[in-house]
Amino acid sequence: MKGLPLDELYEHLGPGGIATGDCLRAFARDSWPQALGWSEAELSAHVPAAVLRPATEGAAAAALAWAARRGVAVVPRGAGSGVLGGAVPMQEGSVVLDLRRLTEFELIPDGREPVVRVGAGWLGGELERRLNILGWSLLNFPQSMEDSTVGGWIATDAYGQLSTRYGGVRAQVRGVRAAGLDGLARAEAAEPHLGAEGTLGALTEVTLRVRPSPLTRRHFAYEFPGPEEAMAWAGEAMKGDGPPSVLRLYGPVDAFFNGLKRRGEGASSGALRSRVEALLLKRTGWLNALTPLLGERWLAVAVYEDEEPYLFAAPPVPRDAVDLGEGPSLRWWKRRYHLSKERLERTFAAGGFVDTADFWAPLSLMTRLDADVRAALRPHALAFSHLSHFDRTGACLYVTFAGSGGGERHARAWTAALEAGKALGACVNHHHGIGLGKLPWLGSAWTADRIQAWREEKRARDPRNLLNPGKICP
Ligand SMILES: Cc1cc2nc3c(=O)[nH]c(=O)nc-3n(C[C@H](O)[C@H](O)[C@H](O)COP(=O)(O)OP(=O)(O)OC[C@H]3O[C@@H](n4cnc5c(N)ncnc54)[C@H](O)[C@@H]3O)c2cc1C
């Protein structure tokens, strides 16, 4: 947008703190699969007017004060790994506030509980490596560990792969600092910001619980005759005092594409995977017809960790199951961060689409939810599923679907999946936020009380709707 008085910001942001020009296109979208399929024209509609890159909390606050004074919409942003479009600028002339330069670090191991206080811009993988050197470890490990920031984790209410034992990031965060449109940054409880997707302020600092690095890790895998038997066992595993850190149940097609039962690299990398994908994208009807050949058996992987003072608990002995040893779980562990934005982009560049819909439901509803969502997807795509992020009441159903035929077909598949979940009364969101992708289903993702609480916060903090407009409640 011409005429944006960016020069007023120079004294706060300094050299390298304001970006304009060609690089702005990279900030027009995040990792929302539907946006990865956008045409050039669709992308152009979301290019911001500038990217502001504060290196200090004070500079972030000053940038927001400037935006308030000038009536400019601001999209706070971390690493852009969000999968629902939460970081997509929706208003012409918006600026993106890129918070990745906020990287202070303070480990406080000897307070009431050990915590690390860090700048919101830390990438998860880098932070974990820094902590490991000191003998400590995080509790939140999203698959996007290397490509997501701790600020983004809070803003999307993220759940990592060890959430079965440690809960989502909301169970681990001990406080945040956030900058507001009044130009001030303050310490706050995390709650209003959890899942608020930058609509209530820019997170500048996050305090997270940490644990001593685990001493040992033990892997288990079992194959069950079907989903009911696998879920009954998972329910048992969640009852004791020492739940597994990781507990995942794979349907037969998901287990196959993840190569969990194959030795070596399996289908997760290399030429075999590319060939399988190329076929998959063009022949989903055909593949759907063939998937019954993979049988009905469900595969469970579980990882138990020891660390003082929380020592090893054994998995319950499964009935009616084949013990597969540790191999499948070790294979999963080795490849747990393999899917990346670049891989997703390659699929879209080849003319295909791949996406995932996450739901939360009690285990009693799960078999039906899984069957209904996959049936709704079948006319549009190949669909397969697994369960993860167990707690004592339910789990997250994660349905991956892939096909070809462009954006419209992709959007139809997405709508069919979400509508099937909604029809059964499942929560249509577990850990990816709302963004643009789930906005039409907000009422099936958030409770009425949560929506009301968000509205009150929004009115108090941002009555002119300058912070990430178009998100949560447009
Ligand atoms: C391959 C892949 C695997 C993934 N696996 C997981 C997973 O296992 N678990 C999981 O929970 N998610 C997962 N995700 C989704 C994504 O990584 C998370 O949502 C992550 O928390 C986003 O962090 P980010 O820094 O990339 O945020 P961004 O994508 O930059 O932003 C996400 C939202 O948060 C807001 N925001 C970001 N930073 C701030 C800040 N400092 N202050 C205020 N608002 C902010 C943005 O406005 C936007 O609305 C995955 C994504 C990919 C591509």
Q: Where in the chain are the domains? A: 6-100, 105-212, 216-442
Given the candidates 3.40.50.720, 3.90.1170.50, 3.30.465.10, 3.40.228.10, the CATH classification of the domain at 105-212 is: 3.30.465.10
Name the residue with the closest Cα to ligand 1, atom 9: 142
Cα 290 to ligand 1 centroid, rounded to whole Å? 35
Query: Tell me, what's the pLDDT at 274?
Result: 54
Q: What's 194-242 look like in SS3?
A: CCCCCCCCEEEEEEEECEECCCEEEEEEEEECCHHHHHHHHHHHCCCCC
**Protein residues with CB under 6 Å of any ligand 1 atom:** 30-31, 75-83, 86-87, 99, 120, 142-144, 148-149, 151-153, 155-156, 158-160, 197-198, 202-203, 339-341, 431-432, 468
Cα 339 to ligand 1 centroid, rounded to whole Å? 15
Ligand 1 atom with the smallest distance to the CA of 340 is 1
Pocket test for ligand 1, best of 75, 81, 164 (most atoms within 8 A of CB): 81
- Tokens 């619980």 -> residue: 209
Cα 156 to ligand 1 centroid, rounded to whole Å? 6
Contact yes or no for 382/282 (Cβ under 8 A): no
Q: Does domain 6-100 have CATH number 3.30.43.10?
A: yes
Q: Is the dihedral of CA 315, 319, 321, 322 positive or negative?
A: positive
Ligand 1 atom with the smallest distance to the CA of 99 is 41
Cα 222 to ligand 1 centroid, rounded to whole Å? 32
User: Coil, helix or strand for 288?
Assistant: helix
**How far apart are alpha carbons 454 and 188 in whole angstroms?**
15
**How far apart are alpha carbons 430 and 446 in whole angstroms?**
10
Q: Is the dihedral of CA 115, 121, 122, 125 positive or negative?
A: positive
Residue type at position 157 = D
Predicted confidence pLDDT, tens digits, the chain (474 residues): 457 999 999 999 999 999 999 999 999 999 999 999 999 999 999 999 999 999 999 999 999 999 999 999 999 999 999 999 999 999 999 999 999 999 999 999 988 899 999 999 999 999 999 999 999 999 999 999 999 999 999 999 999 999 999 999 999 999 999 999 999 999 999 999 999 999 999 999 999 999 998 878 999 999 999 999 999 999 999 987 788 999 999 999 999 888 887 765 444 445 556 556 666 677 788 888 888 889 999 999 999 987 666 666 778 888 889 999 999 999 999 999 987 667 777 788 888 899 999 999 999 999 999 999 999 999 999 999 999 999 988 999 999 999 998 899 999 999 999 999 999 999 998 889 999 999 999 999 999 999 999 999 999 999 999 999 999 986
Name the residue with the closest Cα to ligand 1, atom 27: 152
Q: Which fold has domain 216-442?
A: Vanillyl-alcohol Oxidase; Chain A, domain 3 (3.40.462)
Query: Tell me, what's the pLDDT at 251?
Result: 96
Cα 58 to ligand 1 centroid, rounded to whole Å? 23
Query: Tell me, what's the pLDDT at 311?
Result: 65
Query: Tell me, what's the pLDDT at 278?
Result: 60
List the beta bridge partners of residue 437.
none
